[in-house]
Amino acid sequence: MENDYQKHALITGATSGIGYELAKLFAKDNYNLVLVARSQNNLEETKKEIEALFPKIHIHLYAADLFERGQAEMLYQKTESLGIRVDVLVNNAGQGEWGKFTNTDLQREIDIIELNVISMMVLTKLYLKDMVARNSGKILQLASSASKVPSPYLSVYAATKAFTLSLAEALSREVENTDVIITALQPGATDTDFFHKAKAENTVTYQEMELYTPEEVAKAGFDGLMKGEMTVVPGIMNKAQGMLSNFLPDQAVAANMEKKMERSTKATGNVKLPKHLASARERESINAATQDVHGDLNK
């Protein structure tokens, strides 16, 4: 009989935010982990913290930049070469870029599509084929509350999440006669480093609205996946917004989203760090790396 500790969950974007909290939940449920992120240092810190909580869990680390074409295939090949059977795939890695579409950087948004769409789709296809072949496995896709609404100032990000949601729901239907589960998680604005990476820290959403915690979003996604739910929408306000969007015309929904993503008049210019410690660490490491390349950002 297979030992519980031989199960593996592969999580991208695992060193901060929702991915970090999902890693802890899978470890608690006796899954070995394959943690994927860009920073080897942050991967090592994450490993230490999870091992301190769950010392019997074995943790594999894989530093990969999923913005780059071919990195997703290399990740799959690595787990294959190590003989790791991925029982759960969590496509958590994703970024956005704030601003009017005519003003944002083209290459940055091409990179976001590479990460949010291409790498996610490649990993899904490669691991799903294995899961269907053995008739077991689970995939959790990180969509967003923005996946069902037009989102001015985050237009490309929202479009990539619409792709993620649509793909997850379609594939869930395709595998419904198997023992494979595919779940899309649609969180609202969450206290991670997303807004910093997207240059959206001065928005109404980040400055004025209450953010969900990564812990509560991860728990909702984990529970929904284990129950076999097709979609999971954490939080009462998030659910209410989704229901309201179903009744309003798209123009009204877009206008409402625009207000949330406009610059806040209450923004002070002071740095607002995430309360979530792993996400704050992620921000600090990104800023340090940027300074190493570009010098003092305050000059």
Give catalytic residue positions: 157, 161
Angle of CA points 95, 72, 123, to nearest 5°: 85
Q: Which amino acid is at 37?
A: A
d(CA 89, CA 243): 29
**Residue 255: half-sphere exposure toward Cβ, Cα within 13 Å:** 5
Q: Which amino acid is at 58?
A: H
Phi then psi for residue 175, to 5 deg, are -105, 15
3 state DSSP class of 82: coil
Contact 224, 25 (CB under 8 A): no
Nearest Cα to Cα of residue 149 among 285, 249, 263: 249
Strand order in the sheet with 231-232: 59-63, 32-37, 8-12, 88-91, 137-142, 180-185, 231-232
Identify the helix (H) or strand (E) that includes residue 183. strand 180-185
d(CA 72, CA 82): 16
How many C-beta atoms lie closer than 10 Å to residue 252's C-beta?
12
d(CA 272, CA 215): 19
Burial label, 219 (beta-carbon count in 10 A; 0-12, 13-18, 19+): middle
How many C-beta atoms lie closer than 10 Å to residue 206's C-beta?
22
